[in-house]
Amino acid sequence: MKTKKVAFLGMMGALALVTGFLENLLIPDIPFLPVGAKPGLSNVVTMYVASVMGFPGAVYITLIKALFALITRGATAAFMSLCGGLLSTVVTCILLKFGKKYFSFWGIGVMSAVMHNMGQLAASSVISGTPVLINYGKYLLIFALITGSVTGVMLLMIVPRVEKFTVYYNKNNSRK
């Protein structure tokens, strides 16, 4: 079972990296959006892993994404990725564990995006020594509502299909 978990986390980590890479490559900065704002599609992978493996698996994906940012974009990007990713992951896991009664995957996606932006704003304030950057949060909040809705709905669509496939796969492999 441990081998399956390691393989699963490896595949999910690779999927998160490829998704993030393609997002940065294919989606240009849009003039009317906040600078550097991206949809955060790789967060769908982190939220999915959090839903099936819990906090340790989700933190692993977050760390892999931050390490990739370090290698490809430097220490500042890695620090911002780590701060946003960890805050987002903690909130996602708390909501999945205790808030599923009140939050759907859509709501969890929105909260995750908001927390990711807040973590990155905190990191940028620390790096720059300028706490006034937090004022940029009001612009990112609007964007987080949109992108969090997209990632939450994607997760809402993906989870039932993956669960259906897993049941089918396990049923057919148990006969062999």
The residue among 52, 28, 122 whose CA lies nearest residue 80 is 122
Instruction: Give CATH for domain 2-161.
Output: 1.10.1760.20
What pLDDT is attached to residue 16?
93
* pLDDT average per 10 residues of sequence, the chain (176 residues): 88 92 77 71 92 93 95 92 96 91 89 93 88 78 88 88 71 60
Contact residues for 85 (Cβ-Cβ < 8 A; gap 6+): 46, 62, 65, 66, 116, 119
Domain ranges of the chain: 2-161
CA gap 62, 50 in Å, rounded: 11
Q: What does the pLDDT read at residue 47? A: 93
User: d(Cα 91, Cα 94) in Å, to the nearest integer?
Assistant: 5
Quick count: other Cβ atoms within 10 Å of Cβ 69?
Answer: 21
Q: Is 50 exposed, middle or buried (0-12, 13-18, 19+ CB in 10 A)?
A: buried
What is the model's pLDDT at position 101?
A: 81
Rounded Cα distance between 74 and 132, Å, is 24
> What pTM does this model have?
0.85
pLDDT computed for residue 21 by the predictor: 87
In 3D space, the residue among 149, 93, 143 whose CA is nearest the CA of residue 118 turns out to be 143
